[in-house]
Amino acid sequence: MRLLTRFCAFLSIAVSFALAADMPSGASLLQRYIDRSGGAEAYAKAKNMVATGAVELAGQNISGAVTIFEEGEKSRTAMEFPGIGKVEEGFDGETAWENSVLQGPRILEGDEKTSVVRGSTLALVASWREIYKDVRTVGVEDVDGKPAWKVEMTPVEMTAKDGKPETFFFDKDSGMLVRISQILSTPLGDIAIEATMSDFRMVEGILTPFTMTEKALSQNIVMRLDKIAYNAAIPPDRFTLPAEVKALLDKNDRTK
């Protein structure tokens, strides 16, 4: 019996090595995506991005307009819903924040801030070596009915205690990054978030997704962009903290 147990254990290890040998490395899949979506040179030329379109809370009959600004590591996203008001999120290079008519201003810390900071990086995948310390292909999973390579991405700042790597999904045929999933620690507890990208179109040499669907808790948010421009004219004050956020930040500083 002990011999059989040892044989089964050895067989399991052998199968694991065989499967690993059949899978492309995480680094090669990232490079394949960079090459197929435009190349490192095209990403290097893109200094900023402006996008506009529509956003919808699926199944709730709520829709509105969305505007996104990104430049370097800074970002600002605004969603405006008629009859409800505006929801904004941003990062000015130091402070990650959120502001809405329903909840008011919030300064984001911990995982929430880290997620916004990474999401604000214009060329996230093209500069992945600066952001992630380890990338590892862990298997295959269908995304919208098509097989995709699963790559576990370990952020530089993540410790063994955190244990919350992100997962990137690369379509096996096209090589495109079609989904990102992660778990965020928030004031409401750990929340699983899944963002799926589709409708890729060429914009100034970069194959860019025009539709993004984000799932978190029971919410399904669909963003359909109608215009995306790289190296656009962005007002210099676009990334300045809103007055409500600045007031909250000053208040927090006074109470420390």
Confidence of residue 103 (pLDDT cuts 50, 70, 90): confident
Confidence of residue 251 (pLDDT cuts 50, 70, 90): confident
Confidence of residue 9 (pLDDT cuts 50, 70, 90): very low
pLDDT at residue 28 in the model: 97
> 118-158 pLDDT, tens per residue?
776 777 888 899 889 999 999 999 999 999 999 999 988 76
pLDDT at residue 158 in the model: 67
Share of the chain above pLDDT 70, in %: 89
> 20-57 pLDDT, tens per residue?
557 999 999 999 999 999 999 999 999 999 999 999 98
pLDDT at residue 214 in the model: 93
Please state the pTM of the whole predicted model: 0.85
pLDDT at residue 17 in the model: 42
Q: Distance of CA 161 to CAs 7, 138, 158, 243, Å?
A: 34, 21, 8, 36
Hey, which CATH number is domain 20-255, 3.30.450.270, 3.20.20.210, 3.40.630.20, 2.50.20.10? Answer: 2.50.20.10
